[in-house]
Amino acid sequence: MSQDSGSGRLAGKVAVISGASSGIGRATFELFGREGAKVVATARREEKLQEGLDAVKAAGGEGIIVPGDLEDDATAEKVMQAAVDEYGQVDVLICNAGVGWQYGEEHPGTMAGVHEATVENWRAVIGGVDLEGYFTMIHAALPRMLERESGSIVNVASMAGVTGLYDGHAYTAAKGAIVNLTRSMAITYAKQNVRANSVCPGFIDTAMIAPVIGVFDDPDAAHAMVPLGRAGQPEEIANALLFFGSDESSYCTGSNLLVDGGCTSRSFAA
């Protein structure tokens, strides 16, 4: 993907991004920095966050990193307080941190169907970062946004939040919940000028889907999977998050944008 120097589409805004250490979150961290946001980046791996911050600063941007584990309920408040301490406000929240198929390789049963998963597997995903991690971040950001009657919350869900999958049932339940939580927040907080939208990526070439990305090596299989015939790049999701984070989306709240190469638009492969 080409990277321009940005045109200030987020100038003056403070943007908090979860899962900023890799994949979609890292691309968003760098893009938001180029577009003039003061970026507050969080994830567990401090050295990866620092790499992102170095890239942001090298491009003339500004930000801080706040390492933390979203399995710990206190992390979200720590991140928001750090944002307010440093920059005085939170304008944009990108809820993005999540686990998927790579996590499933490391934690058998978590990306399984209901018939194979245990209650503990279910809780690890739903009660962990994939759903509860969104709740805690939003819960910590909202009072700051409502107080100022200004804010944009953008939730990274998944095309698996609007279609079913043969496995990963806890994941799909979490993603479907995120899409509808977004709608509920949109109607509840619209009067206070806090917008909420979601973005549903399709197959994106990140660590999360490393165990399955090999299917795109075969062009026929790639087109059978995705009409555009390839996996997406993290920057292609970051661009959608930029739109919703910026004032360009000022009339969008409760929107759900699929960015999936056409995957969910057809009923069967040609």
Neighbouring C-beta atoms of residue 143, cutoff 10 Å: 11
171 is catalytic: yes
Query: Would strands 14-18 and 38-42 be described as parallel, antiparallel, or unpaired?
Result: parallel
Contact 182, 155 (CB under 8 A): yes
Residue with tokens 């998944």: 158
Of 203, 216, 225, 235, which lies in the binding site for ligand NAP, with binding defined by CB under 6 A? Answer: 203
Give the single-character DSSP code of 232.
B
**CB-nearer residue toward ligand NAP: 166 or 251:** 166
123 near ligand NAP (CB under 6 A): no
Q: Rule CB under 6 A: is residue 212 a binding residue for ligand NAP?
A: no
Binding region for ligand NAP (CB under 6 A) out of 4-12, 43-51, 114-122, 180-188: 43-51
The DSSP bridge partners found for residue 97 are none
Our finding on whether 69 is near ligand NAP (CB under 6 A) is yes
Cβ(110)–Cβ(103) below 8 Å = yes
Distances (CA, A) of 173 to 74, 123, 127, 179, 257: 24, 12, 12, 10, 18
Only segment of 80-88, 179-187, 203-211, 249-257 that touches ligand NAP (CB under 6 A): 203-211
- Does position 51 interact with ligand NAP (CB under 6 A)? The reply is no
Q: Which residue in 66, 194, 204, 225 binds ligand NAP (CB under 6 A)?
A: 204
Tokens 């058998």 belong to residue? 108
Task: Examine residue 82 and tell whether it contacts ligand NAP (CB under 6 A).
Answer: no
Residue with tokens 């307010």: 84
Pick one of 15, 39, 66, 70: the residue that binds ligand NAP (CB under 6 A): 70
Tokens describing residue 31: 């893009």
Structure tokens at 107: 């934690």
User: Which stretch in 84-92, 144-152, 205-213, 222-230 sits in contact with ligand NAP by CB under 6 A?
Assistant: 205-213
- The reply to whether 156 sits near ligand NAP by the rule CB under 6 A is yes
Binding site for ligand NAP (CB under 6 A): 19-25, 43-45, 48, 69-71, 96-100, 129, 156, 158, 201, 203-204, 206-209
List, by residue number, the catalytic residues. Answer: 171
